[in-house]
């Protein structure tokens, strides 16, 4: 065999070796992806065996919502969805004044899936991920919001009782850690235990409310304070926010933000 023949065959061998190495790399990459793939619950979309940070949106329908409030509430919920981290859990409740005399059953309760914005173009379909995000998460939250803000007014507002229920349910659920509460309310507590309608705020006994203070240690609260007119507007005196600030301070709330919504 001549040296010329050997030189001619060498490039072919190197090409074959390179192809084999590339194939091994691809197989290894696919294997790594499969090994590190996470498992998710089909109903909640939450990662299995992982504690999810929980954001709760709580609707207080007492007094209903003005058209301007409806518009701003929709924008507020959209913002919460945007700010929510992928994998975090979002639950929507309303104050159930009749059946539960406190917190309703969850109307929505899912973890936020990936929306495709961070998809890997090598092995993920960003359009499919976006479609799934909208179908299984964002569009449902929008529908729930539309339903709640157009529902009939609630006859009473057991707000403190609802927060108590929320704190208890969260502590009993090992799959979540209550991280934030988004409260849409006029803050006009109205139940058999305490009512700002029967007794104006200045006459409300703060000590009487202390046994009802929920355990919300380390939880953030974003309050969208729905402003009222007439008699309800009079009850929403300058002392209303300080009264609730004292309650939430006793509850151990980490951070309270208030936005007025007229």
> Looking at domain 52-261, which of 3.30.1950.10, 3.40.50.410, 3.40.50.1100, 1.20.1070.10 is its CATH number?
3.40.50.410
Q: CA–CA distance from 161 to each of 48, 122, 158, 215, 261 (Å)? A: 31, 51, 5, 12, 23
CB 196 within 8 A of CB 161: no
pLDDT in tens, 71-102: 999 999 999 999 999 999 999 999 988 878 89
Q: How many helices (H) and strands (E) does the chain have?
A: 8, 7
Q: Kindly report the pTM of this predicted structure.
A: 0.83
End-to-end CA distance of the chain: 94
pLDDT in tens, 176-217: 999 999 999 999 999 988 888 876 665 566 788 889 999 999
């Amino acid at each position: 065999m001549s040296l010329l023949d050997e030189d001619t065959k060498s490039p072919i061998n190197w090409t074959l070796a390179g192809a084999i190495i590339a194939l091994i790399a691809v197989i290894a990459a696919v294997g790594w992806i499969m090994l590190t793939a996470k498992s998710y619950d089909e109903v909640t979309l939450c990662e299995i065996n992982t504690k999810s940070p929980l954001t709760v949106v709580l609707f207080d329908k007492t007094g209903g919502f003005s058209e301007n409030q409806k518009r701003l509430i929709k924008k507020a919920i959209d913002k919460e969805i945007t700010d929510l981290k992928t994998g975090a859990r979002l639950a929507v409740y309303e104050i159930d004044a009749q059946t539960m005399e406190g917190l309703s059953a969850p109307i929505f309760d899912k973890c936020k899936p990936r929306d495709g914005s961070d998809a890997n173009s090598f092995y993920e379909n960003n359009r499919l991920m976006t479609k799934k995000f909208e179908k299984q998460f964002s569009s449902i939250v929008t529908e729930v919001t539309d339903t709640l803000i157009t529902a009939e007014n609630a006859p009473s507002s057991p707000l403190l009782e609802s927060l108590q229920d929320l704190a208890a349910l969260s502590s009993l659920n090992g799959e979540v850690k209550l991280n934030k509460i988004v409260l849409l309310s006029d803050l006009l507590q109205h139940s058999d235990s305490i009512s700002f309608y029967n007794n104006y705020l200045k006459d409300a006994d703060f000590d009487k409310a202390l046994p009802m203070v929920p355990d919300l240690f380390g939880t953030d609260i974003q309050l969208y304070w729905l402003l009222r007119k007439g008699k309800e507007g009079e009850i929403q005196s300058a002392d209303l926010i300080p009264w609730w600030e004292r309650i939430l301070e006793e509850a151990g709330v980490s951070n309270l933000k208030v936005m007025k919504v007229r």
